[in-house]
Amino acid sequence: NAGVTQTPKFQVLKTGQSMTLQCAQDMNHNSMYWYRQDPGMGLRLIYYSASEGTTDKGEVPNGYNVSRLNKREFSLRLESAAPSQTSVYFCASSEGPYVGGEQYFGPGTRLTVT
Amino acid sequence: DQQVKQNSPSLSVQEGRISILNCDYTNSMFDYFLWYKKYPAEGPTFLISISSIKDKNEDGRFTVFLNKSAKHLSLHIVPSQPGDSAVYFCAASSGGSNYKLTFGKGTLLTVNP
């Protein structure tokens, strides 16, 4: 099992460019999440998908969109990148929204917006 | 407004001694708490969790204590090993669910040989 995979690992964008971060899990999990981690800020939830076909905003959704393509895949799109979106992005998945279902994280995508 | 606080950015301990990492929370609706460990250039990995109906949970060298009245939890690592050197994040959720986690800023633990 690969667990949670993310592509790309690194990306540099110019202000105004768009891109999609890809995430896939092979654990047959129902719930998936996108977080960003900034220096000294911990992880903050951007969007989540409790189950296939549903998505909801997290703590910091502005400037992002998501697509739950199927049960395995959950993508994060930046339509017009801004320097404030420079961050490390983590995708995670869990069996479902119930107690005891820990979240498993991918290795992260380091994004720099110039 | 930070709902989960880890007030110590870093902690240094000697190998074999006890490491105690602390976490405070302000949201009384939180009822499930987790600790994650993160190595550089990797994603966080789950370490241990505790429900608000308990005050202690143990898993090998790791024990989490929850003091609901003080809105405080702590992670004890005994004995500490150099491989434990990492950033430790405290996280919390409400409604009996494990999603929509709120994370603290993390504490960098260094275990010296």
Residue of A nearest to B37 (CA): A105
Q: Which of A41, A45, A106 sits opposite B101 (nearest CB)?
A: A45
What distance in Å separates the CA atoms of residue A93 and residue B99, rounded to the nearest whole number? 9
Is B7 part of the contact surface with chain A (CB cutoff 8 Å)? no
The residue-averaged pLDDT of A43-67 equals 93
CA B92/CA A11 separation, integer angstroms: 31
Q: Of the ranges A44-53, A72-81, A101-110, B88-97, which one carries the lowest mean pLDDT score? A: B88-97
The reported pLDDT for the residue numbered A9 is 96
Instruction: Say which amino acid occupies B45.
Output: T
Tens of pLDDT along A16-31?
A: 999 999 999 999 999 9
What pLDDT is recorded for position A65?
Answer: 97
- pLDDT one-digit tens code per residue, B24-71: 999 999 988 999 999 999 999 999 999 899 999 999 999 999 999 999
**Which residue of A41, A99, A109 is the best one to mutate when testing the B interface, meaning the one whose CB has the most B CBs within 10 A?**
A99
Residue A41 to residue B20: CA distance in whole angstroms: 21
Burial tier of B99 (Cβ tally within 10 Å: 0-12, 13-18, 19+): buried
Give Cα A11 to chain centroid, integer Å: 14
Mean pLDDT of all residues belonging to chain B: 94
Q: Is the peptide bond before A8 cis (omega within 30 degrees of 0)?
A: yes
pLDDT, residue B96, reads 60
A100 falls in which pLDDT band (50, 70, 90)?
A: low
Please give the pLDDT value at position B98: 60
Confidence of residue B2 (pLDDT cuts 50, 70, 90): confident
What's the CA gap between A65 and A44, in Å, rounded? 15
Residue A98: pLDDT band by 50, 70, 90 thresholds? low
Residue % of chain B over a pLDDT of 70: 96
User: How much is the average pLDDT of B86-106?
Assistant: 86
Instruction: Determine the average pLDDT of the residues in B85-106.
Output: 86
Among chain B residues, the shortest Cα distance to A48 is held by: B100
pLDDT at B97 over 80: no
C-alpha dist (Å) from residue A85 to A22, A82, B32: 16, 5, 30
Q: How far apart are CA B103 and CA A31, in angstroms?
A: 18
